[in-house]
Structure 1
């Protein structure tokens, strides 16, 4: 039986504090939506940034959590069992357009056209690490400029492996998005795939598809790249996107190449781009944005298949104890940059 009230972690005000509530109403799914019992929700840097910098959200109190995995428990009007049925295990990315869609609560609403079913070989905890980073990687690689590189998505046999012999550089390969970009770049055939990371993660990143892992603390130079490939560098993805990495990534590009960032490009790059015949794009990793919506249609079933056959692997998981009570400390760890090559996940149903 579905309760009328639930536990949820509330952000009480803009720039405010978090508080656990046990009297938050369970939302009813509207037309085209389903209600999901949340079994796992992943923490992301955007969660602490929303609180600290007042980003995106103007209505408070609110609930955060954009990566959600759970079990469908109720169908809204117009949702057919050919799309999804009660009992299905699903994941989705919340876009912060209402607390009912957020993951830091026991029950959340998902829009049926944003769902992907979880294959049997993937746990809820593993699955919760996937939606946001896969969406961002997919948009970065396959959306048109200025939203991405505009490569052909590997949705047909002809497109898989299409870019064999073309190098790709991924700055910040051990980040969640970096891992997803590496995996999708491998599926598209890019080679070599050169990434920067802490060298303790080298073997793991190579298992995902990276061919070369270079020490992030030493930077990446043109000479290093030239020792790996003589092919001009036309694609650099910057998963970190601080001033230093954006500048370094831009300098590695050959004429006609493109840098895609996850944060706003620094102003000087736009001026230099036109002078040097290079391109800079800023990926916005939200499935429902008008600029991304057409590209992302049908990617739910694609993601399910990629997870099932192992072409896309979830992030490694660290489950935080205490259910929703573990989130605040987890976000502090993310803010302090003490989490590396692992995704922090909570189980809302474990909340005392």
Structure 2
């Protein structure tokens, strides 16, 4: 393989709430248990524009963000096994300069990196990590970290012995089924055997969501009372698990009122359900979709990103999001983030090619 360059192009936030700019930055090097990836595709997520606009999450500047990364292995850190130079892989970065995805080279933790099968492109693979991690950690995290704001449904994962199909005959619902997280939730619920699987979405996405495993798709614009009646009719009044992949105040409240006492509601964001509306028989938890930390998440994520995930992608049991590629490499990302902020993206994942940056 050709020698690695000393510098690369990256999309940088120079200061809190500043505009993104393309700059030359050093190429990082992997530490023990890590890989250096040449980033061929990186997908955009709402958190990326929220960090820029609101100054969330990141505390040190200049900063680089971007989480959904697919590329080739260019360098192996000490002790890494199971990977070779040139392997096609994908992983979820995090918001440090070394690990973030809006750059041409990024460091990945080997234990939370998966190989891309031949039937999946770099662009498709880059749509998977954030949505899948958030879905899986919200459903299958066996031992949530000691943080009162983070939890899980505590289900047996489909990659565990006896986990695939374990919940056959039990009902499941996902609000925001066409979102990246929602699509992953539907597919994992299907692997776990849940049926019926009810999804809310814009109806033009209904047929696509059925290909992922949804048995019923309801219009996300239905009034709360009508939605409740439709869900109760489908689930015969017993809804065991509901995942709100949107987690806006109105969807949280609607989801809370739909699911059954003794069931569980998983939120993709902070719980804002009014306390006076809560019932002691209903459990609510918030997913934390970062596979690299804390350690409780990483244990589960290492199993998720193991050989099983590559096999599921190869067989089509897990499908990537539909893709729209942005022009101009890293320079096309800010306009894509504006579209996400303005809610002008539906049913697809925006993806950029960092290597095409002028």
The one-character-per-residue Cα deviations of 1:261-299 (angstroms, maximum 9, x if unpaired) are 111001524x644x4411110001001222412222322
Q: Which residue of 1 aligns with 2:301?
A: 296
Cα pair distance change 1:247/1:46, threshold 3 Å: same
| Aligned-pair Cα RMSD in Å | 1.4
| Contact map agreement 2:203 2:217 (CA 8 A) in 1 | yes
Matched, 1:197 2:198: no
1:225-240 counterparts in 2 under 5 A? 225-240=231-246
Distance in 1 (alpha carbons) for counterparts of 2:169 and 2:97:
45
Gaps of at least 5 residues in structure 1 are none
| Structure-1 residue corresponding to 2:16 | 14
Residue of structure 2 equivalent to 1:115 = 113
| Equivalent residue number for residue 149 of structure 1 | 153
8 Å Cα contact 2:40-2:355 kept in structure 1: yes
1:260 paired residue number: 266
Distance 1:308 1:288 in 2: 24
Question: 1:78-133 CA distances to partner (integer Å, 9 max, x unpaired)?
Answer: 223xx21101011110121x211111111111111111111111000000000111
Preserved contact between residue 27 and residue 100 of structure 1 (Cα < 8 Å): yes
In structure 2, C-alpha distance between the alignment counterparts of 1:120 and 1:190, rounded to whole Å: 29
Note closer, same or farther for the CA distance 1:236–1:219 as it changes in structure 2 (3 Å cut).
Answer: farther
Name the CA distance, whole Å, in 2 between partners of 1:95 and 1:6.
18
For the 8 Å contact 1:136–1:285, the answer to whether it is kept is yes
2:91 match: secondary structure: strand
- Bigger CA drift: 258-267 or 181-190? 258-267
SS for the counterpart of 1:321 is coil
Unaligned 5+ runs, structure 2: 145-149
- 1:63 maps to which residue? 64
- SS of the aligned residue for 2:139 comes to helix
Distance across 1 between alignment mates of 2:65 and 2:159:
32
Using the alignment, how far apart are the partners of 1:75 and 1:229 within structure 2? 50
Alpha-carbon distance in 2 for matches of 1:267, 1:166? 25
Partners of 2:269 and 2:48 in 1: how far apart?
15
Q: In the alignment, is residue 50 of structure 1 matched against residue 54 of structure 2?
A: no
Provide Cα deviations, 1:218-274, integer angstroms capped at 9, x if missing partner.
Answer: 1453211122121511211101101100000000121111111111001524x644x
When normalised by structure 2's length, the TM-score is: 0.93
Counterpart residue number, 1:180: 184
Q: Is the 8 A contact 1:167 1:231 kept in 2?
A: no
Give the secondary structure class of the aligned counterpart of 1:218: coil
Q: Which residue of 1 aligns with 2:211?
A: 207
Q: How far does the alpha carbon of each residue in 1:149-192 deviate from its partner, in whole angstroms, 9 at most, with x for none?
A: 11111124622111111111100000000000000000101111
Taking the aligned partners of 1:294 and 1:27, their CA distance within structure 2 comes to: 25
**How high is the TM-score relative to the length of structure 1?**
0.95
Q: Report which stretch shifted further, 135-144 or 338-347.
A: 135-144
State the alpha-carbon separation in 2 of the partners of residues 278 and 223 from structure 1. Answer: 19
Matches within 5 A, 1:57-136: 57-80=58-81, 83-96=82-95, 98-136=96-134
Aligned residues: 346
- Residue deviations 1:14-63 (CA, integer Å, cap 9, x gap): 11110011x21111111221111100000000000111111111110111
The separation in 1 between residues aligned to 2:102 and 2:228, in whole angstroms, is 44
Tell me the SS of whatever aligns to 1:202: helix
1:319 offset after TM fit, Å?
A: 0.3
Counterparts of 2:29 and 2:80, CA distance in 1:
13
CA contact (8 A) 1:166 1:231 kept: no
Residue aligned with 1:337, SS:
coil
